[in-house]
Structure 1
Amino acid sequence: MIVGIDLGTTHSLIGVYGADGPRLIRNALGESLTPSVVSVGDDERVIVGRAARERLVSHPQRSVAAFKRWMGSERITALGTHRFRPEELSALILKSLIADAEADLGEKVQEAVISVPAYFSDSQRKATRIAGELAGIKVERLINEPTAAALAYGLQQRDGGGRYLVFDLGGGTFDVSILELFEGVMEVHASAGDNFLGGEDFSAALLNAFLNEHSLSASQLSLGELATLERRIELFKHELARGDEIALELPLAGQNRAWRLDETGFAQLCEPLVQRLRAPLERAMRDAKLSPSQLNEIVLVGGASRMPLCARLVSRMFGRLPLRHVNPDEAIGFGACVAAGMKARDQSLEEIILTDVCPHTLGVNTSRESQHGYTSGVFSPIIHRNSTVPVSRVERYYPTQDHQRAVEIEIYQGESPRVENNVRLGMISIDLPPKRRDENPIDVRFTYDINGLLQVEAVALSSGLKREVVLEKNPGVMTQEQIRERLAALSAIKVHPREQQENIVLVARAERLYEELLWAREDLQGALVRFRGALDLQDRDLIAEHRGEFARFLDAIEAQGYT
């Protein structure tokens, strides 16, 4: 069984392509969106999803979110006695999604198509595949999130084709892709983006403005107070999207703090972030060599695209309103399901060819001759960004000295003219015969395939000697030996059973409310003790009865507000 997965910064989704088309699978709580949050309980068991999100307030030191931004790095997160890399945190989310799918489908999930931001680097894509491997599934195919969104909108089924811009603003990343559809081909012409721009940054702008308004700094707050403030700011942001003036009030640092803001004020506050949204849009249009009038439609996806400022930006830049009729939180998940169906060669799907582009420029470190001698560290591109893949390009270089016996060719990825500002991917060396430099050319060929593998070949033309390397290992990416070690370690970690998720969520929610609401603590404590007592009896019928009562009680407490 092949599934489609949207592994998101804020939420993740899983689904399949069946007889009735793409279908998202609901988790143990009956929800299609699983929060991308991991927590570790006092018993050192791992908690994933909504219960973990609730624990961001009550147990901030044992909980973590937004780790998708760390993919491709060696960052370590300590939760309880455990130490996790970003790939491992993502693998825990994937394991939870897969358990939901297997419970729904009644069969083993063996393979997945996972969506990734179009602007993800080579190392980030490899880290995503490794997360799948650590979760026990095969991930041969990654699909760019804007391409998945296009599939969700059914653009591939439209008669006559056309050109489309997909604006994808998620919780942690921003992507722009320009696609053209013609005669069964969905071709990506250009991709641009910002891997560190998303809904989280707009929330951070609100939080900083709130703190500045009250002459506070984050260091003055306890971890619990900061987590509570972050959660309330996130809810405040969602309410602002309605356009009304919204009030925020809560006790912090020994005082009651009040704040009011409307959507216009929010837009002004976030103007620097809006300008950061504009830059990738302009770059993608330049790279695709298109004017706004040449686009047929503009599609908005990603939960953060619900902010009115996104629609206003698009309308101003392109002179039209965007398409928004597919749930922006679910669009990429639906598209990943369609891609999974295509990979499984589902007969109900028309044959369509998906092409993609290399999101970053790839090249080598060179020295350039000038009147003052040689300037080193000069980036020489071989494959430029937005080249359609698979692609193979060759450039000719020469040694810097006569009778030079060898050259080391350093391989880089990036858009800066100086290699020091780009990402070093690896190196290849080749021996040379002792000749004059102008008689000793070296051809360097880069070949980049649909799966993001880069093959580098160097040929010393005067001797015919050839060297080649396939760059499967990047800085920050785990080795196969590390994968085997961590796979064994993850297998030994205990995870709370799926059937207990409803109970775990209610306990975590009650603990979060206890942290936030001073006036309700006595009632919350009593209700929590009664519910824990029912859990200890392990009587399913009794637990179900108490669970309903407890949930209604928590709903009533939360409805009374944060007074």
Structure 2
Amino acid sequence: MTIIGIDLGTTNSLVSYWSENGSQLIPNALGKLLTPSVVSLDEDGKVLVGEIAKERMITHPEFSTSVFKRYMGTKKKIQLGATTYLPEELSALVIRSLKEDAEHYLGQSLHEAVISVPAYFSDAQKKATKRAGELAGLKIERLISEPTAAAISYGLHLNEAECKFLVFDLGGGTFDVSILELFDNVMEVRAVAGDNYLGGEDFTETLISMFLKHHSLIAADLDRKTQALIRKQAEQAKQAFCESKKVTMSVSKDDASLTFDISLDEYETATKPIFQKLKVPIERALHDAKLKIKDLDAILLVGGATKLPLIRSFVSRLFGQLAYAHVSPDEAVAIGAGVQAALKGKHAMLKEVFLTDVCPYTLGTSISIRKAQGFHESGHFLPIIERNTTIPVSKVDRLYTIYDNQKVINVDILQGEARLAKDNIFLGELNISVPPKPAGTEAIDIRFTYDINGLLEAEVIVISTGLKKTLVIEKDPGAMTPEEIAQSIAHLAQLKIHPRDQQENRLLIARGERLFEENIGSLRHEIGQLLRSFEDLLDQQHAEQITAERDRIKAIFNSIDAQGGL
């Protein structure tokens, strides 16, 4: 049974599988490898995913949404029309679309997948990703970190006996830095660091802010459609800097055209704070791996944002070497996920690659410390498993009672790097009884065990009595209850994905609607006529005529987009 690999991205998602030619990407219904991670509901309540939904971000913003990966593992509700969704439910709709594309391409039903996640995702975010896959009807027994997946795809091509990589993974919404070492078919993660709220979207947001400031506009005062138009222009301007040193943003508002010219130098100056943020995880990862920049044999670029010249220039200057880019930054993670899927399926053709991973965050508990004045101060964080410890791992620490006749010891399980317990993330707690004796007499051993899938088990043993309590951390902040999961599965099962064989036609109409709203005058009139004639042809159901007319109108729309409309 084929196991697929899925790169669930903030901006785009991909699906892959292992064939006799290696890890192969699977095209979607439109023949493209990249499926935009955008979801929309049409007038009939059908789910639109990908390019069509992306077009509807402009024309139907209240029924469309994107960038929901940033909120995985939280209780944030996202509204589409009259219905609200959790981020993992929206991600499930994207995964379901990818699954159906793969089933159509491979000609078989699919039941299991390996999904990639940012290396710096918390346990809550990882489990939300796993739930998304399960809500989409797939068994998810294995998650693979995006940088590790990318390193696999690069590592199989580098042909180096031994090599130290730094994977610079800048996606649409997240930034990961991973340092890995490849030797004797072992891929060892040395250290990871990152920022789950830093990515290519921030470079887009910078242009949006510059546009709004130039025209003295406040985003909150604008309707959603105008905001969507500005975002689209900012995204296009960001991409235009790949070929030009000066770009123009232009948005129609209240029958007026608002334009903004910006040079590459101005853009670089405005994005300096973002680059300063990018340096922090890099420095932390190098520090934790006990390496210097000069120790690195290769820098690997991963994530769509790394295609921007600004990013590549920054990386080259920082590391003093050109980064590897012979595997597409958009595709590297999905290719690696396909390899991992084959490894899990024990594919006979594939030479085993042994992977090690690390715990991305420090795990510990809160303690009281004795102050110089003689009293105890509570609320201090005691790390038990330090960040970037190779997993699976099991570590133990011994703690003692702090006052006479203490009967209960509370053990809370925390995740984070802060000195004070209150500034870290609470995952769970255990209360265990101890015999009432003088302070410091009774002791407990706290053991944390963290496995390869990010499952944390906390065990507490009272030394004098042997009493033991165990807690497996499965419920995270933002997790869905079993009842909520059952309700969500039932709700998502009722939602119908727009038919595959109609997607090209639906995309053309969605694109035409977007162009109609973006333009005015005779051009708008012409677009409207083209849409009406195409819809009439669809009603007649003549396949050959529909294909020919679709190609003709598509060429016209390409010309309008290329000229920027007006």
* Same fold at TM > 0.5: yes
Task: Name the aligned partner's letter for residue 461 of structure 1.
Answer: I
How far does the alpha carbon of each residue in 1:257-298 deviate from its partner, in whole angstroms, 9 at most, with x for none? 222223222111100000000100000000000011111111
In structure 2, the residue matched to 1:447 is 449
Measured after TM superposition, the shift of residue 155 of structure 1 is 4.6
Q: How does 1:24-423 map to 2 (within 5 A)?
A: 24-155=25-156, 158-370=159-371, 371=373, 373-423=375-425
In structure 1, give the amino acid aligned to 2:179: I
1:529 equivalent in structure 2? 532
User: Distance in 2 between the 1:470 and 1:248 partners?
Assistant: 52
1-structure distance, mates of 2:353, 2:330: 25
CA distance in 2 between counterparts of 1:444 and 1:295 reads 37
1:492 paired with 2:494, answer yes
Normalised TM-score (structure 2): 0.97
Are 2:527 and 1:549 equivalent residues in the alignment? no
> Quick check: 294-303 or 236-245, which moved more?
236-245
Cα deviation, 1:94-115, whole Å, max 9, x if unaligned, reads 0000000000000111111111
CA distances 1:103-162 after superposition (whole Å, capped 9, x unpaired): 000011111111100000000000000001100001111111111111111358634211
Give SS of 1:336's match: helix
Give 3-state SS (helix, strand or coil) of 2:16's partner.
Answer: strand
Provide the secondary structure at the position in 2 that maps to 1:261. Answer: strand
| Other structure's SS at 2:348 match | coil
Secondary structure class of the residue paired with 1:360: coil
Tell me if the contact between 1:398 and 1:441 (Cα under 8 Å) persists in the aligned partners: yes
Normalising by the residue count of structure 1, what TM-score does the alignment of the two structures yield? 0.98
Tell me if structure 1 keeps the 8 A contact 2:403–2:440: no
Per the alignment, in what secondary structure is the counterpart of residue 355 of structure 1?
strand
Aligned equivalents of 1:439, 1:117: Cα separation in 2: 44
1:180-231 CA-partner distances (Å, limit 9, x unpaired): 1112211000000000000001100111011111211113322211111100
Q: What CA distance in whole angstroms lies between the structure 2 residues aligned with 1:543 and 1:504?
A: 12
SS of corresponding position for 2:440: helix
Deviation at 1:254, TM superposition (A): 4.8
Q: 2:436 is matched with which residue: 434, 437, 447?
A: 434
| More displaced 10-residue stretch of structure 1: 5-14 or 335-344 | 335-344
Q: Distance in 2 between matches of 1:265 and 1:560?
A: 24
Report deviation, 1:51.
Answer: 0.2
CA distance, structure 2, for counterparts of residue 155 and residue 412 of structure 1: 38
> Match for 1:446: what amino acid?
F
Distance in 1 between the 2:477 and 2:82 partners?
A: 26
What does the per-residue CA deviation read over 1:458-477, in whole Å, with 9 as the maximum and x for residues that have no partner?
A: 00101110000111111101
Contact 2:41/2:64, CA 8 A, preserved across alignment: yes
Q: Classify the secondary structure of the residue corresponding to 1:439.
A: coil
The question of whether the paired residues in 2 share the 8 Å contact of 1:150 and 1:156 is answered with no
CA contact (8 A) 1:357 1:387 kept: yes
- For the pair 1:5 / 2:14, whether they are aligned, the reply is no
Pair 560,182 (structure 1): closer, same or farther in 2 beyond 3 Å: closer
SS at match of 2:128: helix
Q: Is the 8 A contact 1:11 1:33 kept in 2?
A: yes
Task: Output the CA distance in 2 between the equivalents of 1:515 and 1:331.
Answer: 36
CA RMSD, Structure 1 to Structure 2 (Å): 1.4
Between 1:480-489 and 1:254-263, the stretch displaced more is 254-263
What whole-Å deviation, never above 9, does each CA across 1:430-467 have from its counterpart, x for those lacking one? 11111122111011000000000000000010111000
Amino acid at match of 1:558: D
Paired residues of 1:46 and 1:493 also in contact (CA < 8 A): yes
Alpha carbons 2:7, 2:115 under 8 Å: kept: yes
SS of 1:153 mapped into structure 2: helix
Counterpart Cα distance in 2 of 1:22 and 1:361: 34
SS of corresponding position for 1:29: coil
Q: 2:459 aligns with which of 451, 457, 467?
A: 457
Q: What is the identity, as a one-letter code, of the residue corresponding to 1:549?
A: R
Q: What residue identity is the alignment partner of 1:161?
A: E
Q: Secondary structure at the match of 1:101?
A: helix
Distance in structure 2 (CA, Å) of the matches to 1:185 and 1:229: 47
Distance across 2 between alignment mates of 1:430 and 1:250: 63
Measure, in 2, the Cα distance between the counterparts of 1:310 and 1:286.
22
Moved more, 51-60 or 345-354: 345-354
Q: Deviations over 1:485-512 (max 9, x none)?
A: 2111111112211111111111110111
User: How far is 1:402 from its partner?
Assistant: 1.4
Letter in 1 for 2:480: M
Q: SS of 2:388's equivalent?
A: coil
Tell me, in whole angstroms, the C-alpha distance in 1 between the residues paired with 2:83 and 2:277: 36
Q: 1:178–1:190: 8 Å Cα contact kept in structure 2?
A: yes
Does the aligned pair in 1 maintain the 2:233–2:250 contact within 8 Å? no
Q: Which amino acid aligns with 1:544?
A: T
In the alignment, the residues of structure 2 paired with residue 47 and residue 97 of structure 1 have an alpha-carbon distance, to the nearest angstrom, of 12
Query: How many residue pairs were aligned?
Result: 563
Distance 2:48 2:90 in 1: 11
Question: Given that residues 156 and 352 in structure 1 are in contact (C-alpha distance below 8 angstroms), is that contact kept between their aligned partners in structure 2?
Answer: no
Write the letter of the residue equivalent to 1:231.
K
CA distance in 1, matches of 2:433, 2:254: 66
SS of 1:528's equivalent? helix
Distance 2:191 2:158 in 1: 21
CA contact (8 A) 1:2 1:111 kept: yes
Question: What is the alpha-carbon distance in structure 2 between the residues aligned to residue 96 and residue 145 of structure 1?
Answer: 21
Kept in 2: contact 1:249–1:562 (CA 8 A): no
Question: What amino acid is the match of 1:559?
Answer: A
**How far has the Cα of 1:479 moved from its partner?**
2.2
Aligned equivalents of 1:421, 1:507: Cα separation in 2: 50
Structure 1 stretch displaced more, 298-307 or 168-177? 298-307
Question: In 2, Cα distance between the equivalents of 1:208 and 1:486?
Answer: 37
Task: Give the deviation of 1:482 after TM superposition.
Answer: 1.8
How far apart in 2 are the matches of 1:534 and 1:437? 86
CA contact (8 A) 1:224 1:515 kept: no
* CA–CA separation in structure 2 for the residues paired with 1:318 and 1:17: 34
2: CA distance, partners of 1:562 / 1:206: 21
The correspondence for 1:513, drawn from 499, 511, 515, is 515
User: Deviation of residue 349 (structure 1)?
Assistant: 1.9
Distance 1:246 1:157, change over 3 A: closer
Paired residue type of 2:519: L
Q: Are 1:185 and 1:353, in contact at CA under 8 Å, matched by a contact in 2?
A: yes
How many Å separate the matches in 1 of 2:192 and 2:334? 20
